[in-house]
């Protein structure tokens, strides 16, 4: 006798507008693979491109062959899609056909072996040391000791923003890592800060946990925020960083606040959170030269990912040379 039916599955919002068999694949990615919402959005968009190309050519998706897929990739390139976007589309298509292969719906994966055109890897954008200090000093000035007792929301947000900026630049955290932090450690917590140990436990990519040090500036900013956080946070909210409404701060809210702060601080270029992570890595490498340590602190699975910062370090040294060495400048 069959057991009780489980709760009904709902199609992720990102998959709306796709054919039922493609919606089922996105649901599989969401439920079984537990991919992030942003990844589901990107994969769903790639599947829409596949669905449209196959419909235009009158090819049922289950009957697609490698030459069909090569033609669809050529259409993407002709439409102005860049190499990285094409690579993402191929990853989504390849995953779809592998899924169907495991279900026995196809004999061979028509996307297997196809590669996107190579793209030059852009260097990460990092702030100069003095720019990073300018931003953190500005955040600190905005958060200067609100009076005790009831404090209006804006000074509370300034305290929160200062702690976030210090953690982003001082510990090199990703957006998801810093927003996943809870006030207290626990089995259900994705991450937390241990003030006594001056460290943070974070959940990085691939659900890998790592411990990162927290500097004295970030610790001081965190203590100031934690003292007044209860005035803003909802009673049962576990998140370390909360919004004006008292619930966990969202990535979009963080990006907007940091962009506004960077412009208010006098920086010419708006700063996004990952730029502070790049700055953390670049400045640490400039000072220590220890690539392995930077890899560990960033949580990179491969040293090759971290090596891009050596190019930034070389650019920094080249600028110092050009500015200081008497033989650096060529005479006209």
84, 184, 205, 244: the active-site residue = 205
| End-to-end Cα separation, the chain, in angstroms | 90
Is 68 tagged catalytic?
no
48, 49, 162, 174: the active-site residue = 174
Helices (H) and strands (E) in the chain, counts: 13, 4
Residues 6+ apart with CB under 8 A from 280: 168, 169, 170, 171, 172
48, 138, 229, 277: the active-site residue = 277
Is 118 tagged catalytic?
no
Is 43 tagged catalytic?
no
Is 205 tagged catalytic?
yes
Q: 92 and 43 in contact (C-beta within 8 Å)?
A: yes
125, 210, 255, 300: the active-site residue = 300
Q: 88 and 277 in contact (C-beta within 8 Å)?
A: no
68, 94, 259, 274: the active-site residue = 274
| Rounded Cα–Cα distance for residues 86 and 58 (Å) | 22
Is 300 tagged catalytic?
yes
| Rounded Cα–Cα distance for residues 306 and 285 (Å) | 10
> How large is the angle between the packed helices 153-171 and 251-264, nearest 10 degrees?
90
CA R_g for the chain:
24
Is 67 tagged catalytic?
no
Positions annotated as catalytic residues are 174, 205, 274, 277, 300, 309
């Amino acid at each position: 006798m069959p057991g009780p039916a489980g709760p009904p599955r709902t199609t992720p919002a990102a998959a709306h507008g796709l054919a039922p068999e493609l919606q089922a694949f996105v649901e599989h990615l969401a439920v079984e693979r537990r991919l992030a919402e942003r990844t589901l959005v990107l994969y769903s968009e790639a599947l829409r491109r596949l669905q449209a190309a196959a419909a235009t050519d009158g090819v049922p998706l289950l009957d697609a062959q490698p030459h069909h897929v090569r033609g669809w990739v050529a259409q993407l390139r002709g439409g102005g899609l860049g190499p990285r976007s094409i690579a993402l589309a191929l990853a989504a298509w390849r995953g779809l056909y592998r899924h169907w292969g495991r279900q026995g719906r196809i004999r061979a994966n028509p996307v297997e072996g196809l590669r996107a055109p190579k793209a030059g890897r852009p260097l990460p954008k990092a702030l100069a040391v003095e720019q990073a200090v300018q931003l953190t000093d500005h955040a600190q000035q905005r958060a200067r000791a609100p009076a005790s007792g009831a404090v209006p929301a804006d000074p509370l947000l300034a305290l929160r923003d200062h702690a976030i900026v210090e953690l982003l630049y001082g510990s090199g955290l990703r957006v998801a890592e810093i927003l996943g932090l809870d006030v207290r450690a626990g089995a259900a917590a994705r991450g937390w800060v241990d003030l006594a140990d001056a460290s943070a436990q974070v959940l990085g990519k691939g659900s890998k946990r790592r411990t990162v040090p927290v500097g004295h500036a970030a610790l001081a900013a965190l203590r100031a925020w934690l003292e007044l956080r209860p005035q803003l946070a909802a009673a049962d909210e576990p998140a370390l960083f909360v919004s004006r409404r008292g619930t966990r701060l969202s990535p979009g809210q963080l990006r907007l606040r940091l962009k506004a702060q960077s412009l208010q601080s006098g920086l010419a270029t708006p700063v996004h959170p990952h730029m502070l992570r790049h700055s953390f890595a670049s400045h640490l490498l400039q000072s220590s030269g220890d690539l392995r340590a930077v890899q560990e602190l960033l949580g990179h699975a491969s040293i090759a990912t971290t090596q891009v910062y050596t190019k930034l370090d070389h650019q920094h040294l080249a600028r110092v040379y050009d500015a200081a060495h008497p033989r650096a400048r060529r005479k006209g």
